[in-house]
Amino acid sequence: MKLYFSRNANPRLAVAVAKYLAADVQYEFAAPQDPTQAERYRHLNPNLLLPILEGPARPLWEADAIACFLSRRTGSSFWRTDDEEPEMIRWISWGKEGFVRATETVQWELGTKRRYNIGPTDHDAVAEATNQFHANAKILDAELANRDWLVGDAVSYADFRMATYLPYNDVARLPIEDYPAIARWNARLEAIPEWADPFVGLTAPPLPPVPR
């Protein structure tokens, strides 16, 4: 199997999952949105977005689907399949509509747009997403106050998914430190080598710098 990736957030998530699970995959840096490369990848993902996992009966795209497949393939409980699965899915769903969406929006406006010269920063969108971050961070902080992980007693995909954009917070600068339980949880994630730097040993050019 081959996992096509870049250093952007969702491909990073997929690589971190594959590395954490010690999945038997090859890693290949890809740029399907490069006009000169698009046709090479269109049959794998018509959206021309990463990550893409080539090797299953049908190519898989979307990080959640890839995480589910690799966890099942490796016989891991990282993607819960027992009575904790609904709880895991609850956090994945809530995060993508709340905490993850807020962190993604701020990162998009202050990071991705500037890295790739996509357009001007929408400061109203940043302000709205920052407010959304605080509203959701209060809920998440309370949930993590008396537990190490979101689901059960061990890390799960819910934790990786919820934290998708936190590795880019040097640019987004959301005040994670204002929420002690979230800060401790994020530190626990950063102590997992495959999460802290999933690109170790891989050939992948660095992200373009963010202009000041």
Domains of the chain by start residue, with CATH: 2-79 (3.40.30.10), 85-192 (1.20.1050.10)
Which residues on adjacent β-strands are paired with residue 52?
4, 61
pTM (two decimals): 0.96
* Cβ neighbour number for residue 76 with a 10 Å cutoff: 18
Structure tokens at 48: 């021309």
180 in Cβ contact with 200 (< 8 Å): no
20 in Cβ contact with 43 (< 8 Å): no
Tens digits of per-residue pLDDT, 31-56?
999 999 999 999 999 999 999 999 99
With tokens 């795209």, the residue in question is 61
d(CA 100, CA 86): 19
152 in Cβ contact with 84 (< 8 Å): yes
pLDDT of residue 41: 97
Tens digits of per-residue pLDDT, 72-98?
999 999 999 999 999 999 999 999 999
